[in-house]
């Protein structure tokens, strides 16, 4: 996830036109004063551990907001921060989870709608912490939790619908040679190959 954090005097935004992936909303126009504006782009790599990425983002945003003594936060989807975006449904899930997490932490939160062409006006305060960028990556532990071990079961299914052990067919017949090749076993007059190739 890419974040651009702007400590603003104010931000005003208006959703002008839907894209094909726009979320439905009745709130097309809004504003906030004395706010930390969080421009964010959810990236494809984030899909390896969406909850972990949200947790890291909340920690980063909370830390900056505390340093600035800011209570108002505006989450603003901003795809232009990345060239490798996540799926739209994953991005919306992350944005909503961030909104909920920040509210639960005691902040006043507004979220600009996802998937709309928007106009905005912003006034940046201009002090040393008023403009910050952050890159958040899924943790290795979180990504490993999501990955499942894949196991394979090899068998022969005959036209009568019965399941048979492969070993019963490992002979020098054309079908037996095909099975040996698929399993990487040596065959007469041929070479073995690995299943992982």
Q: What pLDDT, on a 0 to 100 scale, did the predictor assign at position 148?
A: 53
Q: What pLDDT, on a 0 to 100 scale, did the predictor assign at position 34?
A: 97
Residue 55 banded pLDDT, cuts 50, 70, 90: very high
34 conformational bin, left if phi > 0, alpha if psi -120 to 50, beta if neither: left
Q: What pLDDT, on a 0 to 100 scale, did the predictor assign at position 89?
A: 95
Q: What pLDDT, on a 0 to 100 scale, did the predictor assign at position 93?
A: 97
CA–CA dist 50, 173 (Å, integer): 51
CA–CA dist 76, 94 (Å, integer): 12
pLDDT digits (tens, 9 = 90+) for 98-157: 999 999 999 999 999 999 999 999 999 999 999 999 999 998 655 455 455 556 677 777
Instruction: Check pLDDT > 70 for residue 80.
Output: yes
Lowest mean pLDDT among 29-33, 34-38, 80-84, 191-195: 191-195
Q: Are 134 and 36 in contact (CB under 8 A)?
A: no
Mean pLDDT of 6-18: 96
Pick the residue with more confidence: 169 or 49? Answer: 49
Name 83's Cβ contacts closer than 8 Å, sequence gap at least 6: none
Q: What pLDDT, on a 0 to 100 scale, did the predictor assign at position 196?
A: 46
Mean pLDDT of the chain: 87
Rounded to two decimals, the pTM is: 0.70
CA–CA dist 185, 169 (Å, integer): 13
């Amino acid at each position: 996830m890419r974040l651009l954090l702007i400590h603003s005097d104010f931000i005003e935004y208006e959703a002008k036109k839907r894209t094909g992936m726009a979320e439905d909303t009745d709130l097309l126009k809004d504003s906030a004063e004395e706010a930390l504006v969080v421009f964010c782009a959810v990236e494809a790599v984030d899909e390896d551990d969406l909850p972990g990425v949200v947790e890291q983002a909340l920690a980063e945003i909370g830390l900056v907001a505390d340093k600035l003594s800011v209570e108002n936060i505006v989450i603003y989807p901003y795809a232009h921060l990345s060239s490798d975006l996540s799926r739209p449904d994953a991005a919306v899930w992350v944005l909503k989870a961030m909104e909920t997490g920040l509210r639960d932490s005691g902040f006043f939160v507004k979220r600009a709608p996802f998937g709309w062409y928007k106009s905005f006006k912003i006034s940046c305060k201009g002090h040393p912490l008023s403009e910050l960028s952050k890159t958040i990556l899924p943790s290795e532990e979180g990504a490993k939790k999501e990955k499942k071990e894949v196991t394979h079961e090899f068998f022969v299914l005959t036209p009568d619908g019965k399941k048979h052990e492969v070993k019963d067919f490992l002979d020098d017949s054309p079908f037996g040679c095909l099975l040996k090749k698929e399993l990487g076993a040596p065959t007469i007059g041929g070479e073995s190959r690995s299943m992982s190739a």
